[in-house]
Amino acid sequence: MKAILSRCSRLAPFLPLPLTESPNRMQVSEGAVRILIVEDSPLVQKMYGLAFSQRQHTLVTAANGRLALSILDADEGNFDLILLDLRMPDMNGVEFLSELPRHSGAGIPVVLTTAEPPGSPMLQQARALGTAAVVHKPWRPNELRDLVRTVVPEEIA
């Protein structure tokens, strides 16, 4: 578990902070939307931190699908949304979506965030595995926040 947590971070609005305890013990603002961000680019991870208010959102990052599945299992799937990149090392987004039903995150809405063109076979394969929406990079923070509000159930958001 320590190896998983050392490669993940909790994002603040301007600076990613290392996780020092298990995700289910993190200090979470009451009513905050818990988002698992599966993204290998540190720069894009920081952009998520800028896009989402720390008071209204708790962000946990994983650099690939394998780490994300470990986090979901350790935290018993206690997330409201997964933002998923498609192209990552070790386990890409399609592989993650294929494995997700066998893990604690089954049932959590997944939004793809990708630079893949709309007709891409990889994107089509990911959509066929079940995603709530697709956001093409580069995304605008206000558009991403609006989409999250439409995907996350109203009683949570």
Model pLDDT for residues 121-148, shown as the tens digit of each residue: 999 999 999 999 999 999 999 999 999 9
Q: Which has the closest alpha carbon to 82: 46, 131, 15, 43?
A: 131
The pTM score is: 0.80
Q: What secondary structure does DSSP assign to 99-137, as a single string?
A: HGGGSTTTTS-EEEEE-S-TT-HHHHHHHHTT-SEEEES
β-pairing, 57-62 with 33-38? parallel
pLDDT digits (tens, 9 = 90+) for 13-70: 333 333 333 343 344 456 789 999 999 999 999 999 999 987 889 999 999 999 999 9
pLDDT at 8 exceeding the cut of 50: no
Domains of the chain and any CATH numbers:
2-22+29-151 (3.40.50.2300)
- The tens digit of pLDDT for each residue in 76-99 reads 889 999 999 999 999 999 999 999
Label residue 154 by pLDDT band (50, 70, 90).
Answer: low
